[in-house]
Amino acid sequence: MTAPVIVWLRRDLRLADQPAFHAAARGGAPVIPVYVLDDETPRHRRMGEASRWWLHHSLAGLDRDLRELGSRLVLRRGRCDTVLAALADETGARSVHALHHYEPWWRNAERAVAERLDLICHHGNMLAPPGSVTTGAGTPYRIFTPFWRALSQRLPPGEPLPAPTRLIAPAQWPLSDEPADWALLPARPDWAGGMRAEWSPGEAGALERLETFAELAARYAEQRNLPALAGTSRLSPHLHFGEISPATVWHRVGGAGGSVGTFLGELGWRDYAQNVILQFPDYGGRNARAAFDAFPWRSGAAARADLKAWQRGLTGYPIVDAGMRELWATGWMHNRVRMIAASFLIKHLLIDWREGERWFWDTLVDADYASNAVNWQWSAGTGVDANMFGRIMAPLSQSAKFDAAAYIRRWVPELAGLPDGEIHDPAVRPGGYPARLIEHAAARARALAAAAAIRA
C-alpha cells in the first residue's frame, strides 16, 4: 500500500478551504489527520483556559466531520516534532502536510519538524501570506493604512477550495488519546455555562455564524460600535481556530454592499497583526516603543487590588464592568467595549498593558497572539502603529454615546432598574454596586503626568 501522509493540524480545524487536506487527498495516499496538544513548545504561551474549552469542542466537531468521510482525527500529546516523528515511524508515513503558522513558537516547531520529516507547509489562514505584502523597497509595512492599501491591490482572495469528499484511511489506525484524557474542560467548578450557551465551536458552527452575519454585513459600520446590538460578526474565535478561512468569509459577504468594506478592513487588520509578529516575535511582551520601558506603571498592593477589581468587573464604571463580566461569562467581549476596558486599565489605573494582555490571553476564546498583542499595544500607545497615549477614552461618555444601556442591564444586573439617563453614570449605587475606583478627571491628570515623565 502507498505510504500514508500526515496532516498536522493546529489552528486550522476545518475541511473546506484547507490546503493541507486538499494536497494530501489529491495525492491518493492514505491520510492520517493528527492534532498534537503541545504545551511544551509555547512554554509561557500555553493556551489559556477559555481557548482550551473551545479546542475540546472544535476537535470533537472535526472528528465527527472526518468520520463522515471514512476518516478520523488522531490525538497525541507532547512536543510536535517528537510526536510527529514517532507517528511517522509507527505508520510508515514519509511526509507531513500542514498550514503555515506565524506565532514564534509555531515557527520554531515547523523548523524542528522539518529537520526530522518531509514537511510541506501551505498558506491558507490569512488573506495573503504574511511577509508577502511589502513596500516598493521590499521591506515589510509597520503602519496599517499603507499595509491595507497594498494588500487591497491583491484582493479579493482566490476562490475557497472545496472540502474533500473522501479521505483514504490507512490500513490500520494508530492509537489516539481520548479528548477526556486532556482535561480541557473545567470541572470543579464548571465555569463554562455561559460559553456553552453562546457558542457552537466547530466548522458547522462557523458557517452558521457566517450566514447570520451575512444578513447584517451591509450595516456593519453603523452597528458595530453599539454593544447592545448584534452588529459584529462574532466570527473571531472561529477564525482564530481556523474553523473557517478568511477567504470563505470574504467571498460570502464581500458583495453585501453598504458598509461591508469596514468589515473587510477588519479582516485586513488580522493580516496586519500577523505581519507585525513576523517582524517582532516578542510583540506580546515587549514595548515596540522603547521610551515606554521607563513608563512609571503603578505597582504594589493598591495596583494589585485595582487590577483584581478590573478583572472581576467591579471598577464602578458600568460600561467597563459590563464588558469584563461578559468576558468572564462568555469568553468574548464586544470590540468597542474591549477598547474602553483596555484604555481604562492602562490610562485610568496606570497598570501595565501586559497585565491586560495576559488576562485576555487566558479568558478569551479568540485569544490570538498577534491580534491580542497588536490591539493592546495600540491602546497603550506603545506599538509600532498605535493610538497616542494622551488620547484617553472617557468611559461614561463612551457608554452614553454608543447607547450601552441595554448592554449594561444584561451584564450588571445591580443596575438593571435604572433608567437610560442614569445607568451610564449612576449617582446612587444600588445592590452593592461599588463606587468608582478613581474619578475620570483625576485619572486623566495622573495619566498625562505619567506620560510627561518619560518625555522629560
CA distance 358 to 45: 9
Q: Which neighbouring-strand residues pair with 118?
A: 95
Report yes or no: 199 and 54 within 8 Å, Cβ to Cβ: yes
Q: Judging by DSSP bridges, how do beta strands 31-37 and 5-9 pair with one another? A: parallel
Q: What is the rounded radius of gyration, in angstroms, for the C-alpha atoms of the chain? A: 23
What's residue 456's pLDDT?
A: 58
Nearest to 239 by CA among 231, 229, 230, 249: 249
Residue of 355, 412, 4 lying closest to 171 (CA atoms): 4
Cis peptide before 189 (omega within 30 of 0): yes
Q: Which three cell numbers stand for residue 428?
A: 446612587
pLDDT of the residue at 427: 93
Q: Which CATH superfamily is domain 290-455 in?
A: DNA Cyclobutane Dipyrimidine Photolyase, subunit A, domain 3 (1.10.579.10)
Range list for CATH 1.10.579.10 in the chain: 290-455
Q: Which residues of the chain have pLDDT under 70?
A: 1, 456
Classified as helix, coil or strand, 347 is: helix
- Are 350 and 261 in contact by the 8 Å Cβ rule? The answer is no
CB 2 within 8 A of CB 25: no
Asked if CATH classification 3.40.50.620 holds for the domain at 1-124, the reply, yes or no, is yes
Q: What is the pLDDT of residues 193-249, one digit of tens each?
A: 999 999 999 999 999 999 999 999 999 999 999 999 989 999 999 999 999 999 999
CATH architecture, domain 126-157+202-279: Alpha Horseshoe (1.25)
Location of each CATH 1.25.40.80 domain in the chain:
126-157+202-279
Work out the number of other CB atoms within 10 angstroms of the CB of residue 193: 12
Catalytic sites, residue numbers: 266, 269, 297, 335, 353, 376
Quote the pLDDT of residue 329.
97
Q: Where in the chain is the domain with CATH 3.40.50.620?
A: 1-124
Distance of alpha carbon 17 from alpha carbon 158, whole angstroms = 10
Q: Which of 418, 422, 421, 424 is nearest to 404 (CA)?
A: 424
